[in-house]
Amino acid sequence: MLANSLSLNLIELGHFCAYLAMLVALVQGLAPIAAHIWKQPRLAQLSVNASVAVFALTTIGGLTLEHAFLTSNFSVEYVAATSNTLLPVFYKIAALWGGHEGSLYLWVWILTLYTMIVGWHGRKQYPEHLPTILAVQGWLMVGFFGLILFLSNPFARLLPAIAEGNDLNPLLQDPGMVGHPPMLYMGYVGFSVPFAFAMTALITRWRSELWVGLIRRWALIAWGFLTTGILLGGWWAYYELGWGGYWAWDPVENASFMPWLLGTALVHSINVQDRRRMLHAWNIFLVISTFSLSLLGTFLVRSGVLSSVHAFAVDPGRGAYILAFMTIVLGVSFGIFMVRGRYQQAEESITSLLSRESLFVWNNVLFTVACASVLLGTLYPLALDAFSGQKITVGAPYFNAVMVPIFLGAILLMAIGPLVPWRKANLERLRARLLWPLLIGVAGALAMVFFLRSVYWTGPAAVGVALFAFANLVIDFLRAVRQRRMQLKEPYARSLIKTVLGNRRHYGGMIVHFGIVIIALGLVGSGLFRSEETVPLLPGDTMEVAGERLRFEGVTTFHRDNYDAIQGRLTLLNSGREVKPERRRYPRQEMPMTETSIDSTALRDVYVVMNESDNTDKWAFHVYVNPLVRFIWSGGVIIISGIFLSLSGRRRARERVTAAGAVEPAK
């Protein structure tokens, strides 16, 4: 009885803290405005203290929700809808973001975390502009708290409490889905920091060279989290959904891909502004657009306008609120940009088409066109349905036809860009440096055409471009190591390490590019050379797919805390290893599920799905042989390691300049 009373009181405490957090966030947003109106600069500092208070209050609210899940407090409507007593503790913790209300609470908690870190970091780095930055983020928090507390309340009560909850969606009872949403949200919300800096720069006419270096790291951190979230989502879809693939151009997948595309353009474009003092207004446009697409992703997933394995079906009122909030953010931010953007003028311009900054601009063009193409393919069916009632589907053929050439062009620029100096390149030197990589790329493409004559044109083209990029990266790095050895007479291993550590930002970027090349090869192998077959088997029967022979040994049944399972056992005769696909039934929801079993090597996956029985001893198995899939996950790990290396480097002197050390133009 005492434990039940404690649970009831804790959830009310969390509910109260959430309301209080919204009020403090409102103070955070209003403080700089009040300071300006009443000519009291000290009032603006309230926003700094408020950022810590909002984080603390939101954290208390989140902890009370987690306590409700761990104690199976089914007097909380959200807990009753997404958990039950049989759910393993690991998934009870993750159930917080397993539904609409909790995932929004996670979103706003991450926003308060970023805001507090910006406040702590900015006390010494940019104290004059910090209150305005925090005010922008404060208004974003107010908007999300309004949605959470008045339309999507995770603290809402269900009285009298029910005896047993509904259970977490079985699709989400998987380690991949435990990490995927938080990583994705860390990326989405992370772009709010560059957004707040950009709005502050426009409002206060903050000189670009003083703030662009500050947002480079924030943009890279957000991009890294978003990349990790997308990779985890692809990995989860691959082994959990049972269709043999990892990316289906699902509208909600596209919702995360669009900010990733513009975020990639932004990360590159910031380098141009930082090094060459150009693209000022364009970068602000990219910042606003990237964060706006993050909000669009929230709208698409949470509004109920999409039918997707990722999406939550919710009532129209919530969707209308999110749409209105997104419209206000877009209108206000682009309105300020239109009025104040002229003060963010570039100090230099492109002097040669054959220069690194010129290639960065083309890189921006490609990623922007790619984003616009995905946006069109995602929203056009929704718009057509809304205005005419016609229902169409824009699927993989459209996206592949548009994106493959763009992706190949981006890899080509990625390969050439690091070899081209700023301002102007020496054509003869560049031609000499590109000769061997070009020959390697052409040889690889011709080898594919010769040995695999029936393959689609994208195969040889992608392999040729990927090998060209790979050779460029390796040769450029070895050239730098050789130069260091000649100058310092160091051992080879020491030169390798010191070369990388001496310019972590540059070589971190090279490692990221190397990871992208590996992923490109994985996409080619798994996309063009996949084999599949469905065969009904009796125990002892064998089947063969793409040279892989499997023998069906039989089935076993077993029970777990929250599901029953039938497991098939097949032996891979080529290697002697076993695969054990399953069919599960979750009693609470009466929902059948398939669990794939995958045998992986460096060059291929044997991917087995167990289908229904025909009420005899015969079971049907769908077997895929997917070449080079592991390249995709390995490339993702390489990308993340490159991001860590780049972030570990010291900032250059210009990035350490603070607002106090420069003369601001007259307001």
Per-residue pLDDT for 460 more than 70? yes
Helix or strand (DSSP H, E) at 439: helix 427-451
pLDDT number for residue 303: 61
Structure tokens at 467: 């090998």
Calculate mean pLDDT across residues 336-358: 75
pLDDT number for residue 344: 67
pLDDT confidence bin for 347, thresholds 50/70/90 = low
Structure tokens at 369: 């066109």
| pLDDT, tens digit (0-9, with 9 covering 90-100), for 383-402 | 787 777 777 878 888 998 89
Give phi and psi for 533, each to the nearest 5: -160, 145
Q: Which residue has the higher pLDDT, 656 or 439?
A: 439
From the CB of residue 388, how many other CB atoms can be counted at a distance below 10 Å?
8
Per-residue pLDDT for 261 more than 80? yes
Tell me the C-alpha to C-alpha distance, in Å, between residue 516 and each of 53, 410, 417, 465, 631.
Answer: 41, 10, 15, 12, 10
pLDDT number for residue 406: 93
| pLDDT, tens digit (0-9, with 9 covering 90-100), for 41-78 | 788 888 889 999 999 999 999 999 999 999 999 999 99
Per-residue pLDDT for 543 more than 90? yes
Helix or strand (DSSP H, E) at 202: helix 192-204
pLDDT confidence bin for 310, thresholds 50/70/90 = very low
Cα distance between residue 629 and residue 631, in whole Å: 5
Looking at this protein, which amino acid is placed at residue 226? L
Calculate mean pLDDT across residues 311-335: 79
Looking at this protein, which amino acid is placed at residue 572? L
Q: Which residue has the higher pLDDT, 601 or 314?
A: 601
| pLDDT-above-90 percentage for the chain | 45
Calculate mean pLDDT across residues 530-540: 91
Per-residue pLDDT for 313 more than 50? no
pLDDT number for residue 653: 40
| pLDDT, tens digit (0-9, with 9 covering 90-100), for 181-227 | 899 999 999 999 999 999 999 998 887 777 888 888 999 999 999 99
Q: Which residue has the higher pLDDT, 662 or 82?
A: 82
Per-residue pLDDT for 10 more than 50? yes
Calculate mean pLDDT across residues 416-426: 79
- The sign of the dihedral angle between the CA atoms of 394, 392, 378, 302 is negative
CB-CB contact of 363 with 265 (8 Å): yes
Tally of CA atoms within 13 A in the half-sphere of 539 that contains its CB:
9
Helix or strand (DSSP H, E) at 490: none
Per-residue pLDDT for 165 more than 80? yes
From the CB of residue 343, how many other CB atoms can be counted at a distance below 10 Å?
16
pLDDT number for residue 434: 86
pLDDT number for residue 278: 78
From the CB of residue 490, how many other CB atoms can be counted at a distance below 10 Å?
16
pLDDT number for residue 2: 45
Cα distance between residue 100 and residue 147, in whole Å: 11
Per-residue pLDDT for 139 more than 90? yes
pLDDT confidence bin for 307, thresholds 50/70/90 = low
CA-nearest of 28, 330, 312, 298 to 147 is 298
Average pLDDT over the chain, rounded to an integer: 86
pLDDT number for residue 314: 52
CA-nearest of 297, 288, 96, 101 to 191 is 288
pLDDT number for residue 650: 64
Specify the pairing of strand 578-579 against strand 563-572: antiparallel
Per-residue pLDDT for 351 more than 80? no
Q: Which residue has the higher pLDDT, 591 or 104?
A: 104
CB-CB contact of 31 with 43 (8 Å): yes
Cα distance between residue 141 and residue 132, in whole Å: 14
| pLDDT, tens digit (0-9, with 9 covering 90-100), for 565-598 | 999 999 999 999 999 999 988 877 777 788 999 9
pLDDT confidence bin for 346, thresholds 50/70/90 = low
CA-nearest of 607, 608, 633 to 619 is 608
pLDDT number for residue 339: 87
pLDDT number for residue 311: 47
pLDDT confidence bin for 117, thresholds 50/70/90 = very high
| pLDDT-above-70 percentage for the chain | 91
Cα distance between residue 80 and residue 164, in whole Å: 7
Of the listed ranges 378-392, 467-481, 521-535, the least confidently predicted one is 378-392
CA-nearest of 420, 428, 407 to 519 is 407
Cα distance between residue 395 and residue 385, in whole Å: 16
pLDDT number for residue 8: 62
pLDDT number for residue 665: 38
Calculate mean pLDDT across residues 646-653: 68
